[in-house]
Amino acid sequence: MVYDIAIIGSGMAGMTACLYALRNNKSVLLLEKESVGGQIAESPRVENYPTQKSISGSELADKLFEQIDELGVNLEVEKVVGLEKKDDIFDIKGEYASYEARSVIIATGCKHRPLGLQGEDKLVGKGVYYCALCDGPFFTGQEVSLIGDANSALQYALLLSGMCKKVHMFTLFDHFFGEKTLQDAVKKASNIEITHSVKAVKLSGNDALESITFEREDGTTFEHKTKAVFVAIGQVPDNKAFEKLAELDKAGYIVAGEDCTTKTAGLFVAGDCRTKAVRQVATAIADGAVAAMGAVSYLGQEGGKK
């Protein structure tokens, strides 16, 4: 089957694109490599979404998926590893199968940035974690560590402080970069201990994390004993599979403006995976709408007609 629009990624941008495409009577294929919702589903509280004073990210994502599911979206659990265009048809190569569509919207978002330390990959799930909502409950009543200084790290610190005995928070710089309300809440929490201006340089432990070595600004180091560290130091895009048809900047983001178009006709991009100044749930949703309407318009032109 050749779909009208294939959307790669089921975060808020991708699902919003589905919503607009389906409401324009287009056949839509949604491809997701992991779980529906993207990174917003990991957020314990979303308080900057219009009409919702406070809602969990997972609930927000579930509501949107229910909406597009009722409209008839076709969902496939598939990791996309390649994308080509032959004449007016896009050939989407997955790990398990291939798919065809007349237009494609890339909405792959970003993934968690690792510390980049030796042995880190072997300790993932064995003391090194990137999602406090997912793995924090395993350490209820215990002491944990956290590395990061922006909004995600501040949210993680507050979440962990509600279930853990103590949270040891480490930042690279001498201040936080997140929203003031989050900063104030973290500073007021009695069981969050903050250490500024240090850099993680070594993870120790064979079968499980035992300690982290940090380096101070003056070059001296110290060892912090811990069984669990939550890493929240930013995100990186995963757009390598699309580099033939979409231009990538030095950081790996797809180069696109507010119209969400790429260098290839019929190929659009939405959400955190594109070059943009602000990466928030509201801007992801806006991108999804813009990209979908761009795809609908493209399908009405000669190059995208059936």
In the predicted structure, residue 44 carries a pLDDT above the cut 80:
no
CA distances, 205 to each of 119, 120, 126 (Å): 9, 10, 9
Q: Which of 74-83, 113-122, 283-292 has the lowest mean pLDDT?
A: 113-122
Position with higher pLDDT, 261 vs 278 = 261
pLDDT tens, residue by residue, 246-271: 999 998 999 999 999 999 999 999 99
Query: In this predicted structure, what is the pLDDT of residue 306?
Result: 47
The CATH number of whichever domain residue 136 belongs to comes to 3.50.50.60
Q: How many CA atoms lie within 13 A of 221 on its CB side?
A: 11
The DSSP 8-state label assigned to residue 95 in this structure reads S
Which two three-digit tokens encode residue 108?
């792959």
In the predicted structure, residue 293 carries a pLDDT above the cut 80:
yes
Find all residues with CB under 8 Å of 70, minimum gap 6, and list them: none
Q: Are residues 29 and 87 in the same domain?
A: yes
Q: With bands split at pLDDT 50, 70 and 90, how would you rate the model's confidence at 112?
A: confident
Q: Are residues 140 and 171 in the same domain?
A: yes
Tell me which residue range forms the domain holding 41. 2-112+235-304
The model's pTM: 0.78
Last residue of a domain, one of 198, 231, 264: 231
The pairing of beta strand 80-86 with beta strand 74-77: unpaired
Last residue of a domain, one of 207, 231, 255: 231
Query: In this predicted structure, what is the pLDDT of residue 221?
Result: 97
Measured between alpha carbons, how far is 87 from 210 in angstroms, rounded to an integer? 56
Q: Are residues 83 and 154 in the same domain?
A: no
Number of domains in the chain: 2
In the predicted structure, residue 179 carries a pLDDT above the cut 80:
yes
Q: Are residues 177 and 272 in the same domain?
A: no
Instruction: Output the average pLDDT for the chain.
Output: 94
Q: Are residues 149 and 227 in the same domain?
A: yes
Measured between alpha carbons, how far is 210 from 225 in angstroms, rounded to an integer? 6
In the predicted structure, residue 305 carries a pLDDT above the cut 70:
no
Query: In this predicted structure, what is the pLDDT of residue 233?
Result: 94
Q: Are residues 153 and 192 in the same domain?
A: yes
Q: With bands split at pLDDT 50, 70 and 90, how would you rate the model's confidence at 134?
A: confident
Query: In this predicted structure, what is the pLDDT of residue 43?
Result: 75
Last residue of a domain, one of 231, 247, 278: 231
In the predicted structure, residue 302 carries a pLDDT above the cut 80:
no
The whole-number average pLDDT for the span 131-142 is 89
Q: Are residues 145 and 227 in the same domain?
A: yes
Q: Are residues 243 and 262 in the same domain?
A: yes
Q: Are residues 296 and 161 in the same domain?
A: no
In the predicted structure, residue 184 carries a pLDDT above the cut 80:
yes
Position with higher pLDDT, 125 vs 60 = 60
Exposed/middle/buried for residue 294 (C-beta within 10 Å: 0-12, 13-18, 19+): buried
The whole-number average pLDDT for the span 84-105 is 97
Q: Are residues 156 and 296 in the same domain?
A: no
pLDDT tens, residue by residue, 6-39: 999 999 999 999 999 999 999 999 999 988 998 8
Q: Are residues 96 and 151 in the same domain?
A: no
Q: In whole angstroms, what separates CA 102 from the centre of its chain? A: 26
Q: Are residues 100 and 130 in the same domain?
A: no
